């Protein structure tokens, strides 16, 4: 992504945080998404209430947590600094920006839980999108960080689900 475009888009979305309602929602999403907590809790709740698909819910939850962990590993290698020209609306767990771990776990949850076919999973997709945008409103990520994090999460969930399905069909316990 072009650096000027990255900066202009971040600045435009971060400016929305001047509205106290937007800032409050951004802070709530940031808190809920820390370490993938809201997505992991949703997956465990799905496993608890949907006994017929408990194993699938647990696999999807593990993929979501795995995407988050993978993003942290990439972040430690890349070491891109967070945007320094804006005042962030939230504190962050670390100094590095690329990729967005919030976006990685949100996209992984959206893909993994949607694949379960649960009608409750319909709520995950817009919430995941809001989580991704909130990282820009908060001023803690560049747009390219969020795009990369979301792509990493979606691919991790998709590939992991495909591999799990192949192993299940082959009679190998997952």
Q: pLDDT digit string (tens) for 119-156? A: 666 788 899 999 999 999 999 999 999 999 999 999 99
Beta pairing partners, 138:
none
The pLDDT value recorded for residue 68 is: 95
pTM, to two decimals? 0.88
- Quickly count: other Cβ atoms within 10 Å of residue 127's Cβ: 18
Enumerate residues 6+ apart whose C-beta is below 8 A from 148: 98, 99, 100, 103
pLDDT over 70 at 168, yes or no: no
pLDDT over 80 at 167, yes or no: no
Contact 92, 82 (CB under 8 A): yes
pLDDT over 90 at 44, yes or no: yes
With bands split at pLDDT 50, 70 and 90, how would you rate the model's confidence at 115? confident
Tokens of 44: 């465990």
pLDDT in tens, 94-107: 889 899 999 999 99
Least confident range from 2-6, 17-21, 89-93: namely 2-6
With bands split at pLDDT 50, 70 and 90, how would you rate the model's confidence at 92? confident
The pLDDT value recorded for residue 135 is: 95
Least confident range from 29-43, 47-61, 111-125: namely 111-125
The conformation of residue 172, written as its DSSP 8-state character, comes to -
- The full DSSP string for 110-166 is HHHHHHTT-GGGGGHHHHHHHHHHHHHHTTSS-HHHHHHHHHHHHHHHHHHHHHHHH
Alpha-carbon span 31 to 137, nearest angstrom = 14
- Quickly count: other Cβ atoms within 10 Å of residue 128's Cβ: 27
More confident residue, 135 or 117: 135
């Amino acid at each position: 992504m072009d650096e000027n475009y990255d900066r202009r888009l971040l600045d435009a979305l971060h400016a929305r945080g001047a509205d106290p309602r937007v800032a409050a929602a951004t802070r709530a999403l940031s808190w809920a998404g820390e370490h993938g907590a809201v997505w992991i809790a949703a997956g465990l709740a799905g496993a608890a209430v949907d006994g017929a698909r408990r194993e699938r819910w647990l696999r999807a939850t593990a993929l979501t947590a795995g995407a988050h962990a993978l993003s942290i590993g990439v972040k430690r290698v890349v070491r891109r600094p967070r945007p320094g020209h804006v005042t962030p609306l939230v504190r962050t767990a670390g100094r590095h920006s690329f990729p967005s771990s919030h976006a990685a776990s949100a996209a992984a949850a959206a893909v993994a839980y949607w694949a379960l076919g649960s009608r409750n999973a319909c709520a995950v997709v817009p919430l995941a999108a809001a989580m991704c945008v909130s990282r820009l409103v908060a001023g803690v990520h560049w747009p390219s960080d969020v795009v990369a994090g979301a792509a990493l999460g979606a691919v991790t969930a998709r590939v992991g689900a495909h591999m799990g399905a192949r192993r299940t069909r082959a009679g190998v316990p997952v």
